[in-house]
Chains A and B, each alone.
Chain A
Amino acid sequence: MAADVWGLAGRRALVTGATSGIGAACARALAGAGCRVVVSGRDAGRGEAVCREIAAAGGEAHFVAADLRASEAAEGLVAAALERLGGLDVLVNAAGVIHRRDAPSTTDEAWRETLAVNLDAVFYACRAAWPVMLGQGGGVIVTVASDASMIGAPRMAAYCASKGAVLQLTRAMALDGARRGIRVNAVCPDEVATPMLESEARQLGRDPEAFLAEAAEGIPLGRIAAPEEVADAVLFLASERARFVTGTGLVLDGGVTAR
């Protein structure tokens, strides 16, 4: 294990949406920083694979399957995390879905799924973790928001609505937790090289390679973020290095929103 540069060794972390993409990168990064991690998501096969990979690198990770669209699932997940880890210091909410549709063509089902996974699940997980963190004297929550929390984008109406809401939920919880030892922050990435981005290309009927190249071209830095780059920002926010940071949306977008 590398030196404890983040001061996170031994911390107990729960990561949702950790079976792929940003969540999996966060789980690996937190484990690499010495955290004991619960990996959660819907896909047991992929979740177990992430855990095996972490274990092979010398870390500790447990998979707990959960579909956070239901509030009791979040309660169950936090309870299972407590059972595995004995406490909860860090919660990372990375689960997310996207439907590339404008509002008129967004079905009831697509709207509900987007808001359920991207917003409701964050609320449920934070609500379940809150009393645990209060009881321990504090904790850190990081939500994965988006630059679409701050600016609009075409053909992703439900996604923009859900991510705008997540950033405001983050700020509201940050104010409520500030005097009680709980810091709550968001990361706001632009396009990240994840299965979700590949799914966007499919939904838009675009050739994935051309879609990714075009996306990179639209980013001032000229490339799409790697999930590991988002995970580095999550590590910073989760660590004591960010002890005075709360209620912040850390923008990690290669310059997109500077425009």
Chain B
Amino acid sequence: MSDLTAKRALVTGATSGIGAATARAFAAAGARLVLSGRDRARGEAVAAEIVAGGGEARFHRADLRDSGACDALVAAAVQSLGGLDILVNDAGVFHRGDVATIEPWAWRETLAVNLDAVFFLSRAAVRLMHDRGGAIVNVASDWALTAGEDAVAYCAAKGGVLMLTRAMALDHAREGIRINAVCPGEVETPMLTEGVADLEAARARWAEAVPLGRIASPEDVAEAILFLASPRARHMTGSALVIDGGAGAA
């Protein structure tokens, strides 16, 4: 699929999970990439894998909890790529807790990474894209649409990301900047599987709740992100593409 030939893309959270899968899919589609994340070793490994496959990718370490780091990351991507056509905001953290029990630091980190950073990075990207257009894809969640138990911070952050997506889409539609979200359900990523003792049992449990009978792979979600970022979705903006194996239809 040659949908993104020569497009210059920045993918955050690209050291694992959906972000890494998106980076691989984008590279296969011809995009030139800057990858970002906190874990240098894993980020360099993903970049090296893409380069070994004939693609172009550089890793730039960034801790997105800081707005200055977000600006610096976009600047670094522009310097590396000569411009920016696509931004994928994938970086995310998850902390359990209901409103009474969640630790203040966990609330703050969830909102900082899952929502504030999307704002900071989008702000920097839109400033660059306003004269020649571009595409931003935010990784929201089915929990941007309906809530789940014991996850107040995550639900709030993802709800915020989806509405931020829509608001920015309206503001920048006439500048040719399309801004959309994907809303996956459970995806088999480190964020989900970390600390799970019996992965086989957990998989069966998760799968039971999904009409299609399995949870998503990161690659399943990457396909949707690739579609939204590509010219094939040129009339889509402000949309939430739900990719949840049918869970939201129930």
Contact = CB atoms under 8 A, between A and B. Distances in A.
Q: For chain B, which range describes its interface: under 10, 10 to 19, 20 to 34, or 35 or more residues?
A: 35 or more
A219 to B, nearest CB: 8
A234 B106 CA distance: 41
Contacts of B244: 244, 247-248
Contact of A255 (B2, B169, B241): B169
Given A178-B245, A255-B173, A242 B224 contact: yes
Interface string B212-243: 11001100110110110000111111111111
Contacts of A226: 235
A259 B170 contact: yes
Interface string A227-259: 001101101100001111111111111111111
B238 A255 contact: yes
A191 to B, nearest CB: 10
Interface of A: 3, 5, 170-172, 174-175, 178-179, 183, 189, 220-222, 225-226, 229-230, 232-233, 235-236, 241-259
- Complex A-B, nearest 8 residue pairs according to Cβ-Cβ distance, in ascending order: A258-B238, A247-B249, A178-B211, A220-B173, A171-B249, A258-B166, A244-B220, A247-B246
26 contacts: A3-B2, A5-B1, A172-B249, A179-B212, A220-B237, A229-B234, A232-B233, A233-B236, A236-B227, A242-B243, A244-B217, A244-B244, A245-B241, A245-B242, A245-B243, A246-B211, A247-B244, A247-B250, A248-B242, A248-B243, A248-B248, A252-B235, A255-B173, A255-B237, A258-B167, A259-B238
Interface of B: 1-3, 165-167, 169-170, 173-174, 178, 211-213, 216-217, 220-221, 223-224, 226-227, 232-246, 248-250
